[in-house]
Amino acid sequence: MANITAQMVKELREITGAGMMDCKKALQEVDGDTEKAIDVLREKGLSKAAKKADRIAAEGLVAIKINSDNTVASVVEVNSETDFVAKNDDFKTFVADTAELALNTNATELAGFLAENHSSGVALSDHLNNLIAKIGEKLDIRRFEKISTNGQVAGYIHGGGKIGVLVELDTQARDEKVLALGKDVAMQVAAMNPKYVSRDEVDAEYIAHETEVLKQQAINEGKPANIVEKMVVGRLEKELKEVCLLEQTFVKNPDLTVKQLVAQVAKEVGSDINVVRVVRFEVGEGIQKREENFAEEVAKQLKN
């Protein structure tokens, strides 16, 4: 029997997308012949991952996981090709497992995270490929983030997993009111998608760009030069209230800004509370979804 090397297994895995152990077994079965091993994996339905590599996975789920004392939390986005698969129980279990793994990982990059051991006993990437073979659709662990804090972290999932938000709060308080505040702020972030937490985060480049755009708007509206500057200042102020979380009107109580809400709860619990950062994942954001034209597809097939 031919000696099955790690390099042979690696190459077969790259070609087929099947799991490491499946590749090794296939090579052993055909005495190291890569071409025959590909056929073996195809016959077993284990090489589907590679065949689906050019498809677009823009559906899926976001999941969050928070530890018992609300000091460590994770958020992950796992994509599928269709919303139907996103509702599959195996897929939902896998996403929850991935969030749990992210909660305990020391990895900071996706490659390192994918190399972590899944509870099934194989690398997360291998378990993913096994699930692809089982479900028959391209799946992708797109991103993850982990927050560890001396304060508190709260989260919110919207739309059954379409949007997930984590909010890190710097505070000494250990109070249910703080966690309720964190969830309210997370809901605000899910709904309003602010660019920044506070004005302190707004970079000079953004201010310069928006000032120029607003200035040209005012000039194009035919406003006199002597009032253009005042108009720009007013409009920029309004815009900052829209893009900065703490400046936004609180969606659950329009009489308050988010900043006022935070101050109100801080007073109630007798401890300072600062919103340090937020992480917002929305399924498929930034992925260019392929537009399918069924009529064109049929016409193309008829010509062949």
What's the pLDDT tens digit per position in 249-278?
999 999 999 999 999 999 999 999 999 999
* In contact, 80 and 138? CB cutoff 8 Å: yes
Question: What's the chain's average pLDDT?
Answer: 89
Choose between 198 and 287: higher pLDDT: 198
- Rounded to the nearest 10 degrees, what angle do helices 225-243 and 204-220 cross at? 130
Q: Which residues contact 245 (CB under 8 A, 6 or more apart)?
A: 185, 188, 189, 192, 194, 196, 197, 198, 258, 275, 278
| C-alpha to C-alpha distance for 208 and 202, rounded to whole angstroms | 11
pLDDT for position 304: 47
Surface-to-core class of residue 108, CB atoms within 10 Å of its CB (0-12 exposed, 13-18 middle, 19+ buried): exposed
Q: Where in the chain is the domain with CATH 1.10.286?
A: 203-241
pTM of the model: 0.76
| C-alpha to C-alpha distance for 115 and 106, rounded to whole angstroms | 11
Can you identify the CATH homologous superfamily of domain 6-51?
Ubiquitin-associated (UBA) domain (1.10.8.10)
Q: What is the CATH number of domain 55-148?
A: 3.30.479.20
CA separation, residue 60 to residues 98, 130, 142, 171, 280 (Å): 13, 17, 10, 34, 15
Given the candidates 1.10.286, 1.20.140, 3.10.590, 3.30.70, the CATH classification of the domain at 203-241 is: 1.10.286
pLDDT for position 292: 46
Q: Where in the chain is the domain with CATH 1.10.8.10?
A: 6-51
Q: Where in the chain is the domain with CATH 3.30.479.20?
A: 55-148
Using pLDDT thresholds of 50, 70 and 90, give the confidence band for residue 55. low
Look-up: residue for tokens 């920029």?
Answer: 236
